[in-house]
Structure 1
C-alpha cells in the first residue's frame, strides 16, 4: 500500500541516490526522473475494466545501473498500490511507495554496468495527476479511457523513469472487455480473445519517451486510410465515419508533403484515434494522435491541428527534447508545420501567416525567453508562435533550399535521439555561410520580439 514499508530478510544500507554526473533532474519537473540507472525496455501487461475503472498490471523494466546502486526509485502515482516487487528475480530487502515515488533497495547492491530486471505488480483506480498544467495522465471517458501524459502523467498508469530523455522500447499488452478496441503505441503483433475479454499486444521498437506512451480504449472501429507513403489507419466510433472522411480527408496528402519537407516518416505506421467524447486539445503520442469528437465538425475546422499532431512524429517523437526548457523544438516546429501545410495545400502562405501572428505577438507582453521560458510558461501559446516565427526568420535568412535541407538533415542526424537547442544551432550553421549569431540572440535569447526579415 502507498506509504507502507515492506521488509524481507536483512536490509542493506540504502545510501544516497546516485547517477551519472552529466545527468540530473530537470528543474522544470524536479519531482520526476530518477538517477542511477537507465531503462532500455518496458513490458507492460495491463488489464482494464471499463465500467469500474480498475487497472491491474505487471510492469517489467529492463535497465542498466550506471553507478553503484544500493537504492533506486521509479515514478508511480500514489493512487496506485504496489503488491509485489522483484529485482533480477529476487525480492528486494525493502521497498516503500509514497509521494509518487517507489523506492527499492535490492537485496544486493548493483555495481556500475549491472543489468537490472525490475518487476512491479500494481493496481488500483487510475486517475490523472494534478499539477501546474492541470490534470495529466490516465483519463476516464464516457465509455473507455485514454492517456494524455505530457509532461509528467505517465506515472498515473505505469511505473517508469518519467523524464523526456529516458527513451526505451515498449511492449504494451492490454486486456479489456471484448466489445472495446484497445490501441497503444507501435505495431499490433497479437490479438487473442478468451471468454469475454480480449488482449491486444503492441510492440514499439523505436525508442520512446514516457510522456509519449499511451493507451486508448473505447467502442471503436478501425479503418485503413492509406498504404503509401506510410500505412495510416483511423480508430473511431462508427457515428463519426462520414464527418471524419471529410475532416481528415487530406491526411495522406499531408503525410506525403511532410515526408518531402522533413524526410522519411520515422515509424512503421501512423494511427489517428478519435474519441466519442469531446477533447479540449488533441493528444500527442508516438506513432499516433488522439482527437476528440469535436474535431470532426464536417468543415475541416481542425485541419491545422491535424497537421500539428502529425508533425510531432518528427519533432517531438523521433527527435525528443533532453530538457523541457527546449520545448520550442517540439511546439515551434509543429506550429510552423501548420503554416507549411497551409502553404502546400494552396491556402495562406507561410509568410502571410507568420506576419499575421507576428502582429498579434507584438501586441502582447514581451517577457518570454524562448530558449528558457520557465516551467509555468512552457505551454504558453507564445512559445508555439514565437518558435514558429523563429523558424520562419531562419528560412527567410538562409533561403528555402538551405532551410529544407536543414530540416531533413536535422531529422536524419538525430533520428530517435534526445536533442537540445544547441544541437539544432550546430546543424543550422552547416547550411549557410552567414553568421546566425544575431538571429539566435534576438529570437531565442532575448525577450523583445524581433522584426521578421523581408520576404
Structure 2
C-alpha cells in the first residue's frame, strides 16, 4: 500500500503490477452497456460493490481508453481523475476499514484494444460486423472499470443493448432478452466468482443451437459454418463426461461456445464459455485438441484461478495435458506417445525457461504449455494413474472457485505421495534444463 489511507494503484503482481489495485476487494460488478456496432460507440454504467481492506480516502480502478463522466461512492458524487490507465476516485467521505461500499461510474467512448508487444491486441476489438473480447491477461479495462487482477474474483450482472440484428453472448446465464424498436437488450448473470479477464462479451450475426447433455451446451456460430460446427463439436458432451470422471464435477451450470466470425490465432477461454475462430471449424474435427484444451480450462484456470500470473503453468499445463488425455480416450495417439513428442519438441528449443517463474514475456510461450503437461505426466508416472487422478480431483474440489499457487499444488502432491517429491519438482519446475522422462 501507499502511505496513509490511499489504496495502492497496483496489484503487486510480480509480472503485471500496473493492473489491479490495493485497498479493497470486489464482490459484484453490475454492468449496463449500450453499444452501437456501426459507429463503435459505447455508453455504459458500472455499479461495483466492494469491501475496503483498510480505511480509504482514495482508491483506483483500471480503465483504459474510455472516459468516466460521473462517479459516485456510497450515493454521493466523488471527485475523479484519469491517468495512465487508472481511474482515481476520491469519495466525499473516507471509507472505513471492513466497510462495504458501492461505486457508480458512468462512462463511454469508442472502446478498442490495448496493444502489447508480447501478445498483440487485448480486450475489446472489432470484427468486420461485431465485437470480440479477448481479455487475458490485461484487456478487461478496455470495456469496464475494474480491479484487473486474477486473484480478485467477483460475481457479475451484465446487460447489453445493441441492434436487434445481432446476437450477444456474455459469460453466465441468459436471464432475459427483450426487444424495443430496432434494439434488443440482453441480460446475463454470472454468480460464480470470476476474475475480470474471464468475463467475455461477443457480438455478431450468429445463429444458435444447443446440445442436450448432462451439462447444457449452447453454441453461437456464423450460419455459413453451422453444419461444420455441429460436427466438429459433436463429441464435446463426451469430453465433459470424461473430464468429469478424471477431474471432478464440471464447475459451472452450463457451457457455451462462440465461433467468432473471424480467423483467430488461438481460441479464447472465458468463464463457462470458449471462443473459437472460423479457421478452427473445418467439418473434420481438425481442431478437436483445441476443443479439449479450452474445455479443460473450465476446471484449470477458471474455477481454479492463479493467484499470480507467474503460476500460469497450472492453467496451461493442465489444459495441454487434457488434450493428451482426450486423445488417449478417443482412440488417438496415447498420452505416452504425445508426451514423447512434446519432450522432443521442447528439447529442440532454448533451455532458458523456469516453469514456475517463466517471466512476463514468456507467459504464453509454447514451452509453458508443453513442459507443464510433461511435468504432470512425470508426476503421474511417479504416483501411478489412480493416485494421480485422486490428487487432481482433490485439487479441483479443495480450490473450487478460488485461487491457487504452485506451492499449494506441490504440497498436495506430496501428501498423496506420502513423501517428498523435491527431486521431481525441482527438476521440472525450478530449473532450466529439461529432465528426461
Question: TM-score over 0.5 for the alignment?
Answer: yes
Unpaired runs of at least 5, structure 2 = none
CA contact (8 A) 2:40 2:111 kept: yes
Q: 1:255, 1:85 → 2: CA distance?
A: 43
Provide the secondary structure at the position in 1 that maps to 2:189. Answer: strand
CA contact (8 A) 2:7 2:60 kept: no
Q: RMSD of the alignment, in Å? A: 1.4
Partner of residue 46, structure 1: 33
Q: 1:24, 1:59 → 2: CA distance?
A: 21
Over residues 73-102 of structure 1, what are the superposed CA-to-partner deviations in whole Å (9 max), with x where a residue is unaligned? 00000x21111100000001x210111000
Q: Given the alignment, which residue of 346, 362, 373 partners 2:358?
A: 373
CA contact (8 A) 1:181 1:219 kept: yes
Q: Given the alignment, which residue of 390, 393, 406 partners 1:408?
A: 393
Alignment of 1:19-418 (within 5 A): 24-77=11-64, 79-92=65-78, 94-131=79-116, 132-226=118-212, 228-418=213-403
TM-score (normalizing by structure 2): 0.97
Q: 1:81, 1:96 → 2: CA distance?
A: 10
CA contact (8 A) 2:11 2:149 kept: no
Provide the secondary structure at the position in 1 that maps to 2:77. Answer: coil
Over residues 362-411 of structure 1, what are the superposed CA-to-partner deviations in whole Å (9 max), with x where a residue is unaligned? 12111000000110111110000000000000001100000111111100
Q: 1:319, 1:72 → 2: CA distance?
A: 28
TM-score (normalizing by structure 1): 0.94
Provide the secondary structure at the position in 1 that maps to 2:416. Answer: coil
Provide the secondary structure at the position in 2 that maps to 1:259. Answer: helix
Q: 1:32, 1:127 → 2: CA distance?
A: 17
CA contact (8 A) 1:15 1:71 kept: no
Over residues 226-250 of structure 1, what are the superposed CA-to-partner deviations in whole Å (9 max), with x where a residue is unaligned? 2x32011111111111111221121
Provide the secondary structure at the position in 1 that maps to 2:326. Answer: helix
Over residues 325-381 of structure 1, what are the superposed CA-to-partner deviations in whole Å (9 max), with x where a residue is unaligned? 000000011000000000010101111000111011112111000000110111110
Partner of residue 435, structure 1: 420
Q: 2:92, 2:107 → 1: CA distance?
A: 20
Name which of structure 1's ranges 392-401 and 273-282 shifts more when overlaid on structure 2: 273-282
CA contact (8 A) 1:175 1:198 kept: yes
Unpaired runs of at least 5, structure 1 = 1-13
Name which of structure 1's ranges 240-249 and 111-120 shifts more when overlaid on structure 2: 240-249
Shift of 1:16: 5.8
CA contact (8 A) 2:11 2:17 kept: no
Shift of 1:154: 0.1
Shift of 1:281: 0.9
In the alignment of these two chains, the number of paired residues is 434
Shift of 1:24: 4.7
CA contact (8 A) 1:151 1:211 kept: yes
Provide the secondary structure at the position in 1 that maps to 2:76. Answer: coil
